[in-house]
A and B are shown apart, each in its own frame.
Chain A
């Protein structure tokens, strides 16, 4: 009975002052939405940024356990790298499903001749190569599929020095085997690829007379949930006769950068949390201060301190809950909108930002109203009623 009366009191108080309560709810919602948006971004950004950083290229190399053969570095040496069988690719395909891989591309290196010039030749899966190395700049087109036997892409330096352009015919020979190709694109990377000729894996294997063989596999792995070293170890364990090398250049720089970014976003979210909390507190305090006279009147009519306090606390709680709920939802939508416009994809939804922002709304709104209410109830009703 008393509880129902209490509920009615709260309800009446809210209904009579609907304009002001709406302002308060709005203020809480604003704060909560900022908190939930900032936290959602702080949690989701790491994965997105890690994905962006994969544009730096392969961060794991799979090489034969025997290591690049002894002839490594030999001018004119035929066997540049030791071989591994391309049957590994099927096994890697199975293993990769359980790992956070962006992609992987097999490579076969060989030495070839174009007329009287010697040039390094690379066979690969063209589509996978682009996936692993999205930062490359290509003029013209790219080799269309893994079975294109006659298309070739030239490194920009090779093209310049030999005076070849897109569409030009190209004749490559390796130890007397000769094949003709057509230049479909010119690749410029600023790296070794500028000096190389790129073919499909199959065409290169056939031309080099090394059917079923590979020199190395480039792997691009995301560093989101598990460290890259873990992925490296998993790959090594799953593929016999293979050494997996983590590219320290990329992995260490990435870890450092992502750690700093997480710290930055965390600090920003913290800042937003504090500022929003203070804003909510200010609004609630103002709205209670305004009702000092009401409190005096209640006390004059015989209400005890606890009852008045409880009433105001319940009101503040209701405001906090309503504002927190609305704000948390709005904040998540806001974070999604930002993520969509920046990364073109949504960030994953996590419950913690929503809970934190609702919690902030309720706790801060209640606390902020409790302090002025306590002050008001401790004063003689007469003093309060007479005015400030």
Chain B
């Protein structure tokens, strides 16, 4: 079933498929301003809670929209929005800086990313791109791409464009991205150098072959649809032999503009487009099999052209094929593996909704399996997958809060910042003379937060989807990925940074900084003398109405205690202390 569905999906390019399909399938023909949609949120708080999951933070406008059209229609509207792009802006800024004799850095890309997270209308697409960037990881922390500012912006755009397309299209685009190629060294990876069967002085680089399977698709053990070990038994998905043979598939890649006549495999990359356009593969499509310029490995398992490549699950790839055919065969074999749906679905659920789907007190069984089923039946349509994740009963109907509750997740520190900006209508500074809009306030987010876009320490992301935090959570066998970057030191460095974006960045302050957005405190200052009303606004804007009675009383005492301070200080103090609080640090 799934193979057929995917075959159809693959025939259509992802962009066309998404816009046409969703426009026809998901239209609410009878929706108008007077209907209350069947899936309308029960309250503004419920809408804000949904938007906390689905966006970079609820705004009043989005809350109003979700309440008007319901969850499903809001998602459909988001699925139809085209991607807000980074690369054109980043390239223009970098060119202008170079022309102006200025240095360049990844800060330009991070500034653009933060701006998009805070202001782009395609919020769900941008959130999905961020989630995908934590699965299909590339990072400027790796020296191979540390200087590739514009190509990394293009990689962000690749993820945003493919965010609601088919998984196979995404996997293919990622595989051919020179940024991924350089990060996991398939770029310039070359065929084995063999003189006789199994007698080779070098063999192909195994890096991409290993990580595409371990991290981007199937993982290490066979899974059931709920992402637990198949049949309750640990069975490895592949072994080292599969890796060695698969490595041959991912050979021959270089820049799209590397000259072929006269041939220079190590040339090219002369323009930004040359650096980010899909890699060329120097296989039989470009050169005769006998040519020294043929860098793709056409041989099979024993290093001869008479044997097949034996890859995942015993899949066979014939010898003497073009590089494009080899790669396409390999990606189709991976795509059809039954692990893909649960493996990817579970990680996306973790990024948007909850760390431990279908576990804990009063769980709703089968969340991951339900989403994985949609993944399969839709042919890996990621737009359908994210819709299934957000509309699932476990996402929309959280279990009642009782002691020992493990529903929900620790929020990513970057998302806690963008949510605060959006909650208080932060206004970004004007673009500088190079066209760059400063957002970072000079922050190195990777060192302060342990997290920054496309800046993970390694391909294993900022945290593992299986990370166990010692204590009550691990005792209950509940994973807690975001705790891997949360510790006694990081709560201080993150907190101090939030201070710079609250106490140090609000409209109306004396000498406001020009390197970061300024938040608008008016929704709070108007109630500076009315602590209950002020705390109610904090609760609605930052905690989707979920603030516990205990915290409400703590916050009310804070505001009352600050009576006599400036209204601005009362307001930013309430925001800042909330940003440090355990309830804002989590979502459920």
Whether chains A and B associate is no
Which residues of B pack against A, CB within 8 Å? Answer: none
Which residues of A pack against B, CB within 8 Å? Answer: none
